[in-house]
A = this chain, B = another copy of it.
Amino acid sequence: MNNKIVYTPGPTNVRENVRLARGMKTTNPDVDNDFVEFYKKTCEKIGDIIGTQNDVYILSGEGILGLEAACATLTESGDRVLVIDNGIFGRGFEDFVSMYGGEAILFSEDYTKDIDIESLETFLENDSDFKYATIVHCDTPTGVLNDLSKICPLLKKYNILTVVDSVAAMVGEKLEVDKWQVDIALGGSQKAISAPAGLTIVSISEDAQLAFKNRKTKVTGFYCNLGIWENYYQDKWFPYTMPISDIMGLNRAIDNIIEEGIENAINRHKRIATATRNAFVDYGLELFLENGYSSTVTAVKIPESIGALNLIKYAYDVYNTVLSTSLGEYSNSILRVGHMGENARVKDLVGILNTIDMSMVNLGFNRDKSLVDLFNKYYSLYCKEDVENEHYNRIQFQV
Given that A393-B320, A398-B320 are contacting pairs, would A2 and B20 also be in contact in the complex, using a CB cutoff of 8 Å?
A: no
Are the CB atoms of A243 and B198 closer together than 8 Å?
Answer: yes
Task: Fill in one digit per residue for A154-197: 1 if any B CB lies within 8 Å of its CB, else 0.
Answer: 00000000000000000000000000000000001010000011
A218 contacts which chain B residues (CB < 8 A)? 99
Interface residues of A in 10-45 (CB under 8 A from B): 10-11, 13-14, 16-17, 19-20, 22-32, 34-35, 37-38
Are the CB atoms of B196 and A243 closer together than 8 Å?
Answer: yes
**Any chain B CB within 8 A of the CB of A324?**
yes
A386 contacts which chain B residues (CB < 8 A)? 318
Are the CB atoms of B2 and A26 closer together than 8 Å?
Answer: yes
Q: Contact check: which of B25, B68, B320 meets A19 at CB < 8 Å?
A: B25
Binds B, one of A47-55, A125-133, A275-283, A368-376: A368-376
Are the CB atoms of A321 and B397 closer together than 8 Å?
Answer: yes
Shortest Cβ gap from A59 to chain B (Å): 8
**Any chain B CB within 8 A of the CB of A89?**
no
Are the CB atoms of A28 and B5 closer together than 8 Å?
Answer: no
Interface residues of A in 340-393 (CB under 8 A from B): 346-348, 350-351, 354-355, 357-358, 362, 370, 372-373, 376, 380, 386-387, 390, 393
Binds B, one of A105-113, A221-229, A264-272: A221-229
Shortest Cβ gap from A299 to chain B (Å): 15
**Any chain B CB within 8 A of the CB of A244?**
yes
Given that A100-B220, A322-B31 are contacting pairs, would A62 and B240 also be in contact in the complex, using a CB cutoff of 8 Å?
A: yes
- Bound together, the chains give a CA A13 to CA B25 distance in angstroms of 8
A318 contacts which chain B residues (CB < 8 A)? 386-387, 390, 393
Are the CB atoms of B35 and A1 closer together than 8 Å?
Answer: yes
Integer count of this chain's copies in the complex:
4
- Bound together, the chains give a CA A376 to CA B96 distance in angstroms of 49
Task: Fill in one digit per residue for A201-220: 1 if any B CB lies within 8 Å of its CB, else 0.
Answer: 00000000000000000101
A72 contacts which chain B residues (CB < 8 A)? 221
**Any chain B CB within 8 A of the CB of A8?**
yes
**Any chain B CB within 8 A of the CB of A396?**
yes
A358 contacts which chain B residues (CB < 8 A)? 376, 380
Are the CB atoms of A372 and B354 closer together than 8 Å?
Answer: yes
Task: Fill in one digit per residue for A233-250: 1 if any B CB lies within 8 Å of its CB, else 0.
Answer: 000000111111110000
What residue of chain B has the Cβ atom nearest to residue A325's Cβ? B31
- Bound together, the chains give a CA A318 to CA B390 distance in angstroms of 6
Given that A2-B24, A99-B220 are contacting pairs, would A64 and B240 also be in contact in the complex, using a CB cutoff of 8 Å?
A: yes
**Any chain B CB within 8 A of the CB of A317?**
yes
Are the CB atoms of A197 and B4 closer together than 8 Å?
Answer: no
A241 contacts which chain B residues (CB < 8 A)? 10-11, 62-63, 188, 190, 197
**Any chain B CB within 8 A of the CB of A311?**
no
Are the CB atoms of B317 and A28 closer together than 8 Å?
Answer: no
Are the CB atoms of A28 and B11 closer together than 8 Å?
Answer: yes
Are the CB atoms of A222 and B29 closer together than 8 Å?
Answer: no
Task: Fill in one digit per residue for A242-260: 1 if any B CB lies within 8 Å of its CB, else 0.
Answer: 1111100000000000000
Contact sample, A vs B, 19 pairs, CB 8 Å cutoff: A1-B27, A2-B24, A2-B26, A3-B394, A3-B398, A3-B399, A8-B28, A19-B23, A19-B245, A20-B23, A28-B324, A60-B61, A196-B244, A198-B243, A198-B246, A350-B350, A350-B354, A354-B372, A372-B373
